[in-house]
Amino acid sequence: MARYVANRLAQAIMLLVIVSAIGFAILHLAPGGPLSQFAASAQMTQEDLDRVTRQLGLDRSLPIQYLDWFGRMLRGDWGRSYRDGEAVLAVISSHLGATLELMATATIIAVLLGCWIGVLGALRRYSLFDSLATVGAMIALSIPTFWFGLVTIYVFSVKLGWLPAGNRQTVGDGSLLDLLHHLIAPALVLALVETAMWGRFMRSSMLEVINQDYIRTARAKGMPEWRILTVHALRNALLPMITVGGLQFPTLLGGALVAETVFTWPGMGRLFLDSIGYRDYPVVMGILMFSAIMVLIGSLLADILYAVVDPRIRVG
């Protein structure tokens, strides 16, 4: 088990280095460059730009800049924002709670609803419910998140007035009820695609399990159907979903970026787009690395958990 974990950890670290190098190169080679924010000021002279270039170390070669940045990142110094000089980690941490709140709520909704739809669809294969669930999943997977978010705002906020059109809370009201009221729309929009995916994967996994020999043997022994489904079928059908959960994390993170933008949710996704608009490259790079670390940790934990529940995985 230790060797398996070490191999997965080494692969994750190698992938993180590759992602950081590619992201760093793209940001610094993009049109405008890191100095575009400073050059936009009318008070900046060429001498001032040259001084800022030396202070930021931008007069060195790109590989040297990357190695210096990566070394400082490993020591916990992720740089400072060009906008206000605040530490990048402090900027990210101030928006992280809102993103985790949105993602956690959407995940709970998607897992519970998706697994229920998948199990019921497998048990009632080719029924009306299964057909409607399949069509609904295809529609959900085809609808862009931003479009569904805009439709939700138009129907439930503009026309019906049931839900707020955006933001995390009402100004001057920080009650739990107000927070939940603002959370409903973005969480449901973000959970839409995830529910469809979980439902499809769960249906396929459940169909594979209920056709196994041990399920037929349990039925032949006279075991109650509810016990067969809960103890034997559902338990084994959930095993592949552990890996699915790890693979779904990047999709969830990308969807959160879109949902936060549409609903002006003050999370990392909104911060990412604002930082790109302001050419605040230290914050953009920090969010990119933080997101990559979160994705790799989620994938690594899924692999380890799957290996714990199914020892056969460790053999490879």
Q: Which two tokens stand for residue 19?
A: 């992602």
Mean pLDDT calculated for residue range 44-63:
78
Confidence of residue 294 (pLDDT cuts 50, 70, 90): confident
Residues 11 and 103 in one domain: no
Tens of pLDDT, residues 224-262: 887 888 777 887 787 777 777 766 777 777 778 888 888
**Considering the domain boundaries, does residue 85 fall inside one?**
no
- So what's the pLDDT on residue 173? 73
Q: Enter the pTM of the model.
A: 0.79
The pair of structure tokens assigned to 71 is: 């070394």
* Span 304-314, average pLDDT: 63
- pLDDT band for position 128 (cuts 50, 70, 90): very high
Decide if 263 is inside a domain: yes
Number of domains in the chain: 2
- Give the pLDDT score at 310: 62
Torsion over CA: 83, 88, 92, 94 (sign): negative
What pLDDT is stored for residue 117 in this prediction? 92
C-alpha distances in Å from residue 238, one per residue of 74, 119, 260, 296, 300: 37, 10, 30, 21, 18
CATH number of the domain at 263, please.
Answer: 1.10.3720.10
Domain-located, residue 206: yes
Instruction: Show the domain range for 224.
Output: 96-269
Please give the structure tokens belonging to residue 196. Answer: 């469809």
- Neighbouring residues of 302: CB distance < 8 A, sequence distance ≥ 6: 242, 243, 245, 246, 247
Tally of CB atoms within 10 A around 99: 25
Say if CB 282 and CB 69 are below 8 A apart: no
- 173, β-bridge pairs: 170
Q: Say which range, 49-53, 143-147, 203-207, has the weakest mean pLDDT.
A: 49-53
Identify whether residues 103 and 235 lie together within a single domain: yes
Q: How does pLDDT run across 105-122, given as a tens digit for each residue?
A: 998 998 899 989 999 998
Beta strands in the chain (DSSP E): none
Same domain as 127, residue 4: no
Are residues 197 and 114 located together in one domain of the fold? yes
Q: What is the mean pLDDT of residues 175-179?
A: 85
Model confidence at 307: pLDDT above 70: no
Mark whether 39 and 156 lie in a shared domain.
no
Most distant CA atoms of the chain, gap in Å: 87
Residue 198 contacts residue 111 (beta carbons within 8 Å): yes
Q: Are 153 and 261 in contact (CB under 8 A)?
A: no
Nearest to 187 by CA among 136, 134, 149: 149
* Mean pLDDT within 68-87: 86
**Half-sphere exposure in the Cβ direction for 60 (13 Å, CA):** 12
Average pLDDT, the chain: 83
Q: Give domain status of residue 149, yes or no.
A: yes
**Residue at 192 is within a domain:** yes
What number is the average pLDDT over the span 291-314? 72
d(CA 134, CA 56): 54
Per cent of the chain over pLDDT 90 is: 7
Query: Is pLDDT larger for residue 185 or for residue 297?
Result: 185
Q: What's the gap between Cα 74 and its chain centre?
A: 23
Q: Picking from 34-43, 57-66, 160-169, which range would have the lowest pLDDT averaged per residue?
A: 34-43
Q: Is residue 288 part of a domain?
A: no
